[in-house]
Amino acid sequence: MNLLDVDKRLANKVSIRKKKMTNESVRYREKRLVNKRQYQKEKIANESAECREKRLLTQQEYCKSISTNSTITDEIQKFHAVVSRGPLYICSCCDQLWYRHSVVAAEKLRLSNANAGKYLLSETSVDDIEWICQSCDKNLKKNKIPPCTANGMSFPVKADFFI
């Protein structure tokens, strides 16, 4: 089997999947998305310590490798290396997926601001830690209600490729 045949098969599978997804009912779509979210949570929870350590080392190596002498091509490759893992950190306030550099541990906020706890969902994600995005963190530190949770507002349903 040559490379051209493999590419055709892959393109055919993708087009079939897209057609199937456009014709699915709302109830089936919601069920599929819930199953996908659950699978991702279990995958993160079952991640071995070795894999977790490897992922963290990759992120640390990226931070160390940034230098003023690097070219644009080098920076683009570094960026792709960091974002290739996808956003895995779930904000306990707005329930959105974030990259590691966009979140902080919610424990610090809970200790410094007792009122912030009523806006947090107590949802853990990576490393069984409760994370909160910088946007929600900033608002809660000022004793303000985060805009995403005020008046029952919320973000739209997460895109399929994040689930």
- For 46-63, the pLDDT digits (tens) are 777 777 777 676 766 766
Same-domain status, 108 and 125? yes
Task: Round the average pLDDT of the chain to a whole number and report it.
Answer: 76
Q: Where are the alpha helices (DSSP H) in the chain?
A: 3-22, 26-45, 49-65, 72-83, 106-112, 134-141
Q: Is residue 14 part of a domain?
A: no
pLDDT exceeds 80 at position 116? no
Q: What pLDDT score was predicted for residue 21?
A: 76
Q: Is residue 129 part of a domain?
A: yes
* Residue 132 β-bridge partners: 104
| Domain tally, the chain | 2
Asked whether 132 and 93 are in contact (CB, 8 A), the reply is yes
Cβ neighbours of 88 (radius 10 Å)? 20
Q: How far apart are CA 108 and CA 121, in angstroms?
A: 15
Q: What distances in angstroms separate CA 148 from CA 47, 80, 93, 128, one per listed residue?
A: 30, 29, 8, 24
Q: Is residue 53 part of a domain?
A: yes
Same-domain status, 162 and 92? yes
Q: Is residue 41 part of a domain?
A: no
Give every CB contact of residue 58 below 8 A, 6+ residues apart in sequence: 81, 85
Asked whether 100 and 17 are in contact (CB, 8 A), the reply is no
Q: Is residue 70 part of a domain?
A: yes
pTM over 0.85, yes/no: no
- For 122-158, the pLDDT digits (tens) are 777 777 778 888 888 888 888 887 776 655 666 566 6
Q: What pLDDT score was predicted for residue 24?
A: 79
Same-domain status, 90 and 162? yes
Q: How far apart are CA 88 and CA 116, in angstroms?
A: 23
- The fraction of the chain above a pLDDT of 70, given in percent, is 78
Range of the domain at 106: 86-163
pLDDT exceeds 80 at position 15? yes
Examine the fold and report which residue of 37, 64, 85 is the final residue of a domain before the chain moves on.
Answer: 85
Same-domain status, 70 and 128? no
Q: Is residue 120 part of a domain?
A: yes
